[in-house]
Chains A and B, each alone.
Chain A
Amino acid sequence: MSVSPERVPALDLRGIDKRFGPVHANRAVSFAVRAGTIHGLIGENGAGKSTLMNIVYGLQSPDAGTLLVQGREVHFRHPREAIAAGIGMVHQHFMLVENFTALENLLLADGAAAGSAAGRAAAREKWDRLALDHGLDVPLDAVVGELPVGVQQRLEILKALGRKAEILVLDEPTAVLTPAEATQLFQLLGRLRAQGKTVILVTHKLREIMAVTDRVTVMRQGAVVAELDTAATSLRELAEKMVGRSVLLQVEKGPGFPREVLLEVEQLAASDDRGVPRVKGISFQVRAGEIVGIAGVAGNGQSELLETLAGIRTPTGGAIRLAGRDVAGDDPAQRRRLGLAHVPEDRLKLGVVAAFAAEDNLILGQQERPEFGRGVLLDRRAIAAGCRQAMAEYDVRPGDPRLRLGAFSGGNQQKLVMAREIGAGPQVLLVGQPTRGVDIGAIEFIHRRLVALRDAGKAVLLVSVELDEILGLADRILVMNGGEIMGELPRAEATEEKLGLLMAGVRAEAGHED
């Protein structure tokens, strides 16, 4: 893509500065985004990417600095003004009303009248046409909460395009997408670029940056540390710039030495909250000293499986044995006492209390451990000291035990959860999506921890929708589809193609059943 540098940048940031109390989220950030390009923005968790994009969208106002859109200086006080200036945003957490239909969500953003039947019909026609033009297939009458995330995201993009966005900001759009959905998204971004629109893409996935962007800006601790042409850089260079040191994109891991069975599941069945069967008679074992990975497209029963194993969900059938003991009737606390630990997939829902301080989150579920208490009272000083130590060990930033958990960036929240669960000294660790929305520096760290746990002779069950993660960590891989295990592959025999077929529900005929 050749764009003459003389052209006025679509977006020009000059010296944007923003603080949240002691946190300096953006430090004099300056960079320009050329019109008609896809511009990548990367950086560690907490580097200030979302903050910067929120400023661009008028959700937050900068403490200092100016913003130029198509060469004109603007001072947004509200998203309304950013929208009027042609900026659209797809947020890290979708901004949709879940019990509205897709069309109602679109009308919310629309200036058109929704009162008359004619007005509604006209609006429907307009959105239908727009959806068709951009190849964004969205069922307009479906209730949004029941749509897969990929479709919800198309809806978000449609919403922005319908308001004539010339500059489209996407904040971690692929964190929750399947690889196929991500590919579709990038094809769409390519088409938008061809139409002359400008796209800003925030992501942790460097491969995506390499594949679709024209230029990349790298941020670290609130400041811009590099600006590069994508064609002139490499994965490795980006990773280093981002973290400020060289990172291993793949953790080193010796051969495993599996020993006795620690977790055994037999004909396990479970249903979701609405009573729909999600886990349909699954059997497998996890041994001491091995990592077993469960791969699969999100929503194929992995979440229910994990919750059932952790004791949060009651199984509808089958047995769960922890070190030979049947625990199917035990609650999560009893299972914890038997050496089970759990890093839930959805940390904000099941893993932490966002309004509590970090130190209080770090003892959740472990309040009874003797080192945290004095009689019936909590030993505040010991808890704070324990938290500070864990924060240092797990490189949690900022390292303030008193800070409200919700004020930490996603990756740092995840590190705190890992610290708590591994800190409990489990025999069996269940981990769901351990690196969702987490930067590569932190991914490397979390992966090392998991491998170290295995090498210490513990059993690890890893559920992830990221194939790279499964392939990088697991010694044995099970693939789930439609609530069943489609097949099992030792790591050495697993390839992306084989796993992809199993994930799609195609049972490998070549696969040997023994």
Chain B
Amino acid sequence: METYTIIVLLLAATIRVATPLLLAALAGLFSERAGVIDLGLEGKMLGAAFAAAAVSAVTGSVWLGLGAAIATGVALALVIGFACITHRGNQVVAGMAVTIVVSGLAPSLALAWFGLGGQTPQLTNAAQRFTALPWPGAEAARAMPFPGLMYAELLAGHNGVVYLAAALVPLSAWVLYRTRFGLRLRAVGENPHAVESAGIPVNGLRYRALLISGVLCGVAGAYLSTAANAGFVRDMTVGKGYLALAALIFGKWRPVPTLWACLLFAFTDAAAARMQGVALPLAGVVPVQFILALPYILTVLLLAGFVGRATPPKALGVPYTTEK
């Protein structure tokens, strides 16, 4: 294959890998900007992936699957909210607990309901999955010279969730920086006492942030099991929730830089899949493990202050009480 084709296909893969990452990172963006550490991303996504695949398999409708995924994401977000906001519990513990419970519960339910060893049935019917949207002339363009393949693979050729995720970046930025809700949300992550004293209930705001996070995780999970794959398998998120958090930190808790971080991480992931055993000009054969570890290495370097300082929201992780 010529280099041009390789690069275009690599970038197309990057976009597909980046989508769930981006959705989860934006989910984390809302809850963390409101001051709640979101270690439950992984669990919410996994639970949603299971719900989407299970409902889609049973009903035959990908949309009902999506609805179930969102409902699951929101329900798990409410559990975290109840523990962390209403009862001021430890946010790290609550998020981890949800993740651990879901990673055990989802395969168990799958086994009980479908008897396929912790998976859901394969989604073979087109109505059970999100498939690529038909773009005008995409197939014809594929055969054409230079920009043709780029049009077919990068712009066209994705399912609706990919475009939704892309649209959510400017939308999140707008909500965060241009609306009253966004202003309050950012304020509550910085100094909840100021928000309370301004006459705005802190807990209500934080619950709303978690609800948004739940919805976005729901979409991310549905993407994993009903768009990128054709069914749910055990632990199918493989740490994407944590990677999304890393991207969020890398992006300094801002929507657009977070998008770039997600694309960078997704690129290393897509490249790793294609670089197995390929010798690079200077480095020789790079171990795949190294490339897979790259996003985490980048994050550690960032946190160690090499790439510039990331300042988290000031009240992140601090339960809100009226006491000193």
Chain A: residues with CB nearer than 8 A to chain B?
57, 59-60, 78-80, 82-84, 89, 91, 95-100, 104-105, 107-109, 113-115, 159, 163, 354, 406-407
Contact = CB atoms under 8 A, between A and B. Distances in A.
Given A59-B196, A95-B193, A96-B194, A104 B183 contact: yes
Contacts of B180: 107, 113-115
A89 B197 contact: yes
Given A104-B183, A108-B183, A108-B184, A60 B197 contact: no
Interface string B168-191: 000000000011100110110011
Contacts of A60: 322
Contacts of B187: 97, 100, 104, 108
17 contacts: A59-B196, A59-B197, A59-B322, A60-B322, A78-B201, A80-B199, A82-B199, A84-B199, A95-B194, A96-B194, A97-B186, A100-B186, A105-B194, A108-B194, A108-B195, A159-B198, A163-B199
Contacts of B195: 108
Nearest to A20: B323
Nearest to B191: A97
A215 to B, nearest CB: 26
Nearest to B199: A80
Contact of A109 (B198, B322, B323): B198
B197 A91 contact: yes
Contact of B197 (A79, A100, A354): A79
A114 B191 contact: no
A22 to B, nearest CB: 15
A98 B213 CA distance: 26
B155 interface: no
Nearest to A90: B197
A79 B179 contact: no
Q: Max chain A CB contacts within 10 Å: which of B180, B195, B314, B322?
A: B180
Contacts of A407: 323-324
B200 interface: yes
Contacts of A84: 199
Interface in B183-226: 183-184, 186-187, 190-191, 193-201
Contacts of B200: 80, 108
A79 B194 contact: no
A156 to B, nearest CB: 9
Chain A to chain B: the 6 pairs with minimum beta-carbon distance, closest first: A80-B199, A95-B197, A95-B194, A109-B198, A83-B199, A406-B324
Interface residues of B, number: 22
Interface of B: 178-180, 183-184, 186-187, 190-191, 193-201, 314, 322-324
Contact of A108 (B193, B198, B314, B324): B198
A98 B315 CA distance: 12
Contacts of A91: 197
Nearest to B187: A97
Main secondary structure of the interface of B (DSSP, over half): helix
Given A59-B322, A80-B200, A114 B179 contact: yes
A60 B322 CA distance: 8
Contacts of B314: 98-99
Given A60-B322, A95-B198, A99-B314, 7 more contacts: A95-B197, A97-B194, A98-B314, A104-B187, A113-B180, A159-B198, A406-B324
Contact of A98 (B190, B197, B324): B190
B191 A107 contact: no
A82 B198 CA distance: 10
A406 B323 CA distance: 9
Contact of A78 (B184, B190, B199): B199
Contacts of A97: 186-187, 190-191, 194
Q: Max chain B CB contacts within 10 Å: which of A84, A107, A406?
A: A107
Contacts of B201: 78, 80
B196 A96 contact: no
A115 B185 CA distance: 14
Contacts of A78: 199, 201
A10 to B, nearest CB: 19
Contact of B178 (A95, A105, A114): A114
A119 to B, nearest CB: 9
A244 B305 CA distance: 56
A97 B200 CA distance: 14
A406 B324 CA distance: 6
A247 to B, nearest CB: 28
Nearest to B201: A78
A11 B259 CA distance: 53
B297 to A, nearest CB: 29
B207 to A, nearest CB: 15
B195 to A, nearest CB: 7
A97 B184 CA distance: 10
B66 to A, nearest CB: 29
A411 B201 CA distance: 31
B199 A95 contact: no
Contacts of A406: 323-324
Contacts of B186: 97, 100
Nearest to B315: A97
Contacts of B197: 57, 59, 79, 89, 91, 95
A141 to B, nearest CB: 15
Nearest to B190: A97
A109 B199 contact: yes
Given A80-B199, A104-B183, A108-B184, A95 B324 contact: no
A349 B163 CA distance: 48
A79 B190 contact: no
A107 B177 CA distance: 12
A359 to B, nearest CB: 19
B175 to A, nearest CB: 10
A163 B314 CA distance: 27
A79 B314 CA distance: 23
A91 B190 CA distance: 17
A159 B199 CA distance: 12
Given A78-B201, A100-B187, A354 B324 contact: yes
